[in-house]
């Protein structure tokens, strides 16, 4: 994107960078975010590779811009997001954005995320992928998850499993997230409805390769999320 077209950052924006065994991409992704003017919270969810070492190096390199939080064991995506939100709020963030450390997100898409929040046009912004550009297996899995999310959370959105989301601090404080794993993505949609938060969806690009496709929402992940919802319903 042309620098002249980049919307100004008028807020204190913290990126929650969820990380589990991302030694191949963590440094590049973090550096790109810092260079664009964002604060970065690396939430290391019990990585077994070299990610913790890389994260500590990045904290030293970008002191005052990058922080590292580590779970002793792998809790899951939901646990990482909850840790990240608490950390960002403790640092008086104005806007909080979730972002993946695996390289599947284009940092330029962040420029669509924060302006609506800065301009008070929305409480939450979710970036929606183009399903037509999605590999067939991922397209099927994500389409099914949209309908499961609607069934259990009562709100239909374009891309319920998108990992790129932005919240005002006030909206983030209202979220009561309980799911420790992938179910958190659908749970966030339900919380938007339950807390009467104004949602805006914006387009995004996604970088697909063998690694990111394997880590995305597939049939097994979808079944686990469904079982998680059923368990909560029974309770």
pLDDT digits over 46-81, tens only? 999 999 999 999 999 999 999 999 999 999 999 999
Please determine, for residue 3, whether its predicted confidence score (pLDDT) is greater than 80. Answer: no
Please determine, for residue 216, whether its predicted confidence score (pLDDT) is greater than 80. Answer: no
Could you give the angle at the alpha carbon of 93 between the alpha carbons of 90 and 99, nearest 5°?
105
Closest CA to 142 of 67, 82, 199, 222: 222
Element (H or E) spanning 17, and its range? strand 13-19
For the chain, the structural domain boundaries read 9-234
Q: What is the pLDDT of residue 4?
A: 66
Could you tell me the pLDDT band of residue 139, with boundaries at 50, 70 and 90? confident
Q: Is 235 exposed, middle or buried (0-12, 13-18, 19+ CB in 10 A)?
A: exposed
Alpha carbon 181 to chain centroid, angstroms: 12
List pLDDT tens digits, range 91-129.
Answer: 999 999 999 999 989 999 999 999 999 999 999 999 998
Cα separation of 133 and 69, whole Å? 34
Of 5-14, 99-108, 126-135, which gets the smallest average pLDDT? 126-135
Overall pTM > 0.85: yes
- CATH homologous superfamily for 9-234? Spore Coat Polysaccharide Biosynthesis Protein SpsA; Chain A (3.90.550.10)
């Amino acid at each position: 994107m042309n620098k002249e077209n980049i919307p100004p950052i008028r807020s204190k924006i913290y990126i929650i960078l969820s990380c589990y065994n991302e030694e191949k991409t963590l440094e590049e992704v973090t550096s790109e975010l810092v260079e664009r003017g964002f604060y970065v919270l690396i939430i290391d969810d019990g990585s077994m590779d070299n990610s913790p070492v890389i994260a500590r190096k990045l904290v030293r390199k970008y002191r005052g811009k990058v922080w590292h939080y580590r779970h002793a064991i792998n809790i899951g995506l939901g646990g990482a997001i909850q840790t990240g939100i608490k950390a960002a709020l403790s640092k008086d963030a104005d806007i909080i954005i979730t972002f993946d450390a695996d390289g599947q997100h284009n940092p330029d898409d962040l420029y669509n995320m924060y302006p609506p929040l800065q301009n008070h046009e929305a409480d939450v912004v979710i970036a929606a992928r183009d399903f037509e550009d999605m590999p067939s297996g991922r397209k099927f899995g994500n389409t099914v998850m949209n309908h499961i999310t609607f069934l259990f959370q009562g709100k239909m959105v374009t891309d319920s499993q998108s990992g790129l989301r932005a919240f005002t601090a006030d909206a983030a404080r209202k979220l009561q997230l309980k799911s420790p794993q992938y179910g958190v993505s659908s749970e966030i949609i339900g919380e938007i409805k339950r807390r009467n938060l104004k949602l805006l969806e914006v387009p995004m690009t996604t970088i697909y390769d063998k690694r990111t496709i394997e880590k995305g929402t597939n049939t097994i992940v979808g079944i686990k999320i469904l079982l998680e919802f059923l368990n909560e319903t029974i309770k």
